[in-house]
Structure 1
Amino acid sequence: MDFTRTEAQDDLGQLTRSITEKLVTSDRLRALDGAEDRFDDVTWRSLAESGVLSAALPETVGGSGFGILEQCSVLQELGRTLAAVPYLPSITLAASALAQFGSAEQRDLARKAALGETILTVALAEEYNDEPARPATRAEPDGAGWVLSGTKTTVPVATLAARLLIPASTPNGTAVFLIDPAAPGVTITRQQVVDLSAEAIVELDDVRVAASDLVGTEERGPEIIDWLLTRAAVGISALQLGSLERALEMVSDYARERTQFDRPIGSFQAVAQRLSDAYIDVKGVRLAVTQAAWQLDDGSATEASIRTAKFWAADAGHRVAHTVIHVHGGVGLDRDHPVHRYFLAAKHNEFALGSATDQLRRLGRHLMLVRS
């Protein structure tokens, strides 16, 4: 397998970094912490105007025809600066899914998202349900349309989205629906999460949707849900990789500059060992994420590679985040210090769509089935 980055990956990554390093400052992030919805509209508009949002989408929706590899390059750079923009839910997941499976009308929504004119999101998580591929949310046929009932949790930018992609169980299996957040029966409640991201609980109480709001067909529902979950896991892992890389750079610089007993603390064996372990962890995350993204791109992805990437992002993320805080000492516990934000982001990404333990359980179950 050739992990050499494509020219498009390099170009998109460099462009995203040039935008975010200029606009996403500590002061900007601090100001967003107090916002009702933590959304950096200035950076989002800049990404749209520069073509970053549309570049990694199919040509059918005005994109450049690139895919998940290029999207992971963007996500990694967004993770480096902790940019408060909904690239993962709106572009990597919702817009890409509509471009892949949607009707002409739904692809037009994806086109608007690619231009930054609208925001889309996907509701994948449910409370007390560790099998997102089999949603507890129900969709019952109602004449020519459907009636949806259920509750989704930690839905990204739900209060800002023009449409929500909602997976639901039907009498014949599973399907994905487009929901207008302003529709009768939809209740959106802002939810406070560890890193202050704009997330919400979405409650559906007999919400009626038209037949045209079904994404793809009911028969392709399981395929679409698996497509979304797979890319969500890899996308979260790519965000985590960017955050951990930058956090490791910050703590390494600190260990060289901070002195005790007239020596840089990085020269002490205990500190050096922690930093060495963190370096190896970040390398592990990079390898696992790169493998999963490449396999997704060429169609050879397996559940094992996806679970491995998410496991590394969660498990290594936990260790690296704590190393960053511990090496910084009391400074790292200060909520206003930049490294504390990276700790919170790492914890959020660790648990999003399943912790390291959850990934190992799923990976073990998958390997058992493969070998049986």
Structure 2
Amino acid sequence: MDFTHTEAQQDLEQLTRSIAEKLTTPERLKELDSAEDRFDDKLWKALADAGVLAAALPESVGGGGFGILEQCSVLQQLGRPLSPVPYLSSIVLAAGALAEFGDEGQRELARRAGAGEAILTVALAEELNLDPAQPVTRAERSGDGWSITGTKITVPAATLADAILVPAATSDGVAVFVVDPSAPGVTVTRQLTTDFSAESMVDLAGVSTTEVLGGVERGAEVVDWILARAAVGLTAQQLGTLERALELVAEYARERVQFDRPIGSFQAVAQRLADGFIDVKAVRSTLWQAAWRLSENLPAEEEIRTAKFWAADAGHRVSHTVIHVHGGVGLDRDHPVHRYFLAAKHNEFALGSATEQLRRLGQSLADVPA
């Protein structure tokens, strides 16, 4: 395995970072706090105009032909300033799945997303269901199409989306349907989330559609493809968030003086920061191992769950270190550091907590023949 970033990764990292850090300022984030949907349209347009959105999509949909490694580099840089844009849900997951498994019309939708002309999303989470690969939402055949009934929660950018990919159970197994949010029977309700990101509950009451991504016979494959990239992409975003959070708290520990000494010189503080450094390195190494295996089409389930475990477990510790070392300042909503705590906690529990990842890893090991 080679952890050296490709030339395309390095170029995308630099380009994305320059755009994101210029536009995602604490002032802009504070402005978006009062918006109905926490979405930075100016940043999204800038990323589209610079070719960042399309770069890591297949050439078949007008993209640059790069893949998951380059997408993770973009997500890492967007995670650093906490950029409120749906790159993971719209580009990596929805557009990527449409390009990989879709027909000509669906690939055109992916092309529009890469050009910044459309926003897409994927509805994975359900209440009281820890396994998105086995959805409770159901789809029944209805004439020449399907009728979908169920409820999805914490759907990213659903109020902004032109199409939603909805995994649902059928009599022939799981399938992924392309749903128009404006279709009869679809109700989108904004939800209040930990980090105030634009997420919604999507109720589907007998929603009609004829679009099945990849066909029912490939439904399980499509869902597994999406879930793998969702976990890896979320870990990449968490890596950027934790990297920047650790930088901020280290700077504070050097500058904050107590008893005539920088607080970073106190053993307890220094040890917390050292532990945070190790945690971030663990997230980084497990992320790139999982992403590399995906890019090489190698089995990666255990590596993906290991990476998501570290994103959750390290996210918990680093986020609390940031707040504890900052003291009262860390709880002040006028200070930008509190946003890193909220973002890290959101990423910790999205797609399964550390405990859930360990449980599934343990089951994988138990299933190995003796």
TM-score (norm 2): 0.99
Task: Give the equivalent residue in structure 2 for 1:147.
Answer: 147
Post-superposition Cα deviations, 1:195-216, rounded to whole Å, max 9, x if no partner, equal: 0000000000011112xx1111
Deviation for aligned residue 1:143: 1.5
Work out which of the residue numbers 244, 247, 253 in structure 2 matches 1:246. 244
Task: Give the equivalent residue in structure 2 for 1:312.
Answer: 310
Aligned partner letter, 1:264: P
| Identical columns (%) | 69
Deviation for aligned residue 1:336: 2.0
Task: Give the equivalent residue in structure 2 for 1:222.
Answer: 220
1:355 aligns with 2:353: yes
Task: Give the equivalent residue in structure 1 for 2:92.
Answer: 92
Aligned partner letter, 2:305: R
State the alpha-carbon separation in 2 of the partners of residues 44 and 136 from structure 1: 33
Task: Give the equivalent residue in structure 2 for 1:75.
Answer: 75
Post-superposition Cα deviations, 1:132-178, rounded to whole Å, max 9, x if no partner, equal: 10100000011210000000000000000000000000001010000
User: May I ask how many residue pairs the two structures share in their alignment?
Assistant: 370
The 3-state SS of whatever aligns with 1:42 is helix
Task: Give the equivalent residue in structure 2 for 1:327.
Answer: 325
Post-superposition Cα deviations, 1:284-340, rounded to whole Å, max 9, x if no partner, equal: 000010100000000113211010000000000000000000000000011221110
Aligned partner letter, 2:182: A
Work out which of the residue numbers 228, 248, 255 in structure 2 matches 1:257. 255
Contact 1:139 1:149 in 2 (8 A): yes
**Residues 196-215 of structure 1: matches in 2 within 5 Å?**
196-210=196-210, 213-215=211-213
Contact 1:292 1:301 in 2 (8 A): no
Work out which of the residue numbers 295, 298, 317 in structure 1 matches 2:296. 298
The 3-state SS of whatever aligns with 1:220 is helix
The 3-state SS of whatever aligns with 1:190 is strand
Task: Give the equivalent residue in structure 1 for 2:337.
Answer: 339
Task: Give the equivalent residue in structure 2 for 1:47.
Answer: 47
Task: Give the equivalent residue in structure 2 for 1:65.
Answer: 65
Aligned partner letter, 1:174: V
Deviation for aligned residue 1:371: 3.8
Post-superposition Cα deviations, 1:87-110, rounded to whole Å, max 9, x if no partner, equal: 000000000000000000000000
**Residues 10-49 of structure 1: matches in 2 within 5 Å?**
10-49=10-49
Unaligned runs of 5+ in 1: none
Contact 1:56 1:65 in 2 (8 A): yes
Post-superposition Cα deviations, 1:322-364, rounded to whole Å, max 9, x if no partner, equal: 0000000000011221110000000000000100001000110
Task: Give the equivalent residue in structure 2 for 1:107.
Answer: 107
Task: Give the equivalent residue in structure 2 for 1:235.
Answer: 233
Task: Give the equivalent residue in structure 2 for 1:284.
Answer: 282
Deviation for aligned residue 1:9: 0.4
State the alpha-carbon separation in 1 of the partners of residues 245 and 182 from structure 2: 39
Cα RMSD, aligned residues only:
0.6
Aligned partner letter, 1:122: V
Contact 1:129 1:135 in 2 (8 A): yes
Task: Give the equivalent residue in structure 2 for 1:128.
Answer: 128
Aligned partner letter, 2:341: F
Aligned partner letter, 1:78: L
The 3-state SS of whatever aligns with 1:330 is helix
Unaligned runs of 5+ in 2: none
Post-superposition Cα deviations, 1:43-100, rounded to whole Å, max 9, x if no partner, equal: 0000000000000000000001000000000000000010000000000000000000
Aligned partner letter, 2:51: G
Aligned partner letter, 2:116: G
Aligned partner letter, 1:40: D
Deviation for aligned residue 1:191: 0.3
The 3-state SS of whatever aligns with 1:159 is coil
**Residues 261-276 of structure 1: matches in 2 within 5 Å?**
261-276=259-274
Contact 1:101 1:215 in 2 (8 A): yes
State the alpha-carbon separation in 1 of the partners of residues 338 and 162 from structure 2: 32
Contact 1:158 1:200 in 2 (8 A): yes
State the alpha-carbon separation in 2 of the partners of residues 190 and 367 from structure 1: 39
